[in-house]
Amino acid sequence: TYQRSRRGIHATRKIKQGEAIEKGDIQVIRPGDAVDVGAEPKRFDEIIGSVAVSEIEQGQGVTVDDLEI
């Protein structure tokens, strides 16, 4: 299905609550069967510098709800 093949932004490491997101902390991947598809790749630059409002596990999809943009 489209949802499973859609690319999204995912954490490359565990990000703690209150941490600012740096370029190396996220990547754009096609997650396959992952349930938590992250934000659209076009939001990558917008997410850089944002602060995590909750803990984000490594490999987890990063959404705007996870961040204070």
DSSP 3-50: HHH--EEEESS-B-TTPBP-GGGEEEE--TT-S---S-GGGHHHHTT-
Q: What is the pLDDT of residues 22-32, one digit of tens each?
A: 999 999 998 77
Task: Please choose, from the candidates 66, 63, 4, the residue with its C-alpha nearest in 3D space to the C-alpha of residue 38.
Answer: 63
User: Which residue do the tokens 């409002």 mark?
Assistant: 53
17-57 tens-digit pLDDT: 999 999 999 999 987 766 678 999 999 999 999 999 999 99
pTM of this prediction? 0.87
Structure tokens at 52: 């995590």
